[in-house]
Amino acid sequence: MFPVLNPYGHVVYQAQRGDVHTVLVNGRIVKRAHELIGVDVAAARRQVEQTVEYLMGQLGSDAWVEGMHPEIPVTRVLDNPYTYTYAEKASRA
């Protein structure tokens, strides 16, 4: 990355998690050298799996699949009144 005009915006919109070396939260280091510190990833994963299983059980498999793959409505492109073609420019000259 090489921010030229807006370094803060560049970091916010272009940086990925691999670009972050160290993170501090309330003065405590929670990530150093690209590794999380003091986080039990396996426990977090188990909690997420339990939550998903619970939700699937409450919703039912059909509703779960429908929620994971919603129907996307068809979109259409609206005409842009501010778009000019070469022919329109030539006729105005």
pLDDT tens by residue, 23-35: 999 999 999 998 8
The helix-helix angle for 61-68 and 41-59 (nearest 10°) equals 120
How high is the pLDDT of residue 11?
79
What is the spatial distance between Cα 22 and Cα 8, in angstroms, rounded to a whole number? 17
Q: Which helix (H) or strand (E) holds 25?
A: strand 23-25
| % of the chain surpassing 90 pLDDT | 42
What amino acid is encoded at 26 in this protein? N
Q: What is the dihedral of CA 51, 57, 59, 62, to 10 degrees?
A: 120
| % of the chain surpassing 70 pLDDT | 86
